[in-house]
Structure 1
């Protein structure tokens, strides 16, 4: 990949988002603001779902949507203006009985430095009833295609 006269060669699995850090994402200390990490991860999850056939438009047609209960961000290294980042996503837990899920995101700078780990826990919600719901068997099969972590746990209760 060539960006702005810089050549970056990244070889990572499960990259679901990559891009340049822009001015609007920088805080008063001149590094990536906390909420930008969450934005990168949300976009990575959206891209990942679209890649396996569950675009946000397709999901919306069924009046089901993902909802997060917890988001944990562990900062490891700084990210600055104009850095290029990649975000990997893997599923760490999935409960087939109630469609609850957990994902781990790792955010890397173009030099290969891991800068943050973001873990989220959530479930699927019926947007009409405003209650948690279980995915259809068809969608369960699609979700099974998501990349999984080495420590992945499948639950059924």
Structure 2
């Protein structure tokens, strides 16, 4: 495992395939880029698909929401910042928030409610120690809360 970093940022340039007929970032591209940021963070801390398979546990999405604050257009470069917004006491459920920023100004927020799935039993479980320890290092939002 590599050394985890407590916060995560990734810079992305909006591509032709990301925009709609009106020339602005389409709503579903926000979810695609947020998933990319989350995957990059997981891999950056050593939580690769092979590790998830070996541990028999992987993240799943239960709900996604996006809040759009400003228009984003083709060719713009954004910084995506991923943080933990909430987690259950045992870590089995969580909320990740990705803030999309242009020049340090938020243009959108994406929230993903997820859980850890045991790949064999097909049940939501608390993550194994290897996963839990890495996830605990992800920076928390200022409004971080514990899920019921």
Q: TM-score, structure 1 length as denominator?
A: 0.82
Does structure 2 conserve the Cα–Cα contact (< 8 Å) formed by 1:85 and 1:107?
yes
- Aligned equivalent of 2:67: 74
What secondary structure sits across from 1:78 in the alignment? coil
Alignment gaps of 5+ in structure 2: 1-5
Relative contact order (alpha carbons < 8 A, sep ≥ 6): 1 or 2 greater? 2
Q: Which runs of 4+ in 1 moved over 4 A?
A: none
- Indicate which of 23, 26, 44 corresponds to 1:51: 44
What secondary structure sits across from 1:80 in the alignment? coil
Confirm whether residue 119 of structure 1 aligns to residue 117 of structure 2. Answer: no
Q: TM-score, structure 2 length as denominator?
A: 0.86
Alignment gaps of 5+ in structure 1: 1-12
Structure with the greater alpha carbon radius of gyration: 1
Q: How does 1:13-32 map to 2 (within 5 A)?
A: 14-32=7-25
RMSD of the alignment, in Å? 1.9
Count of residue pairs the alignment pairs up: 143
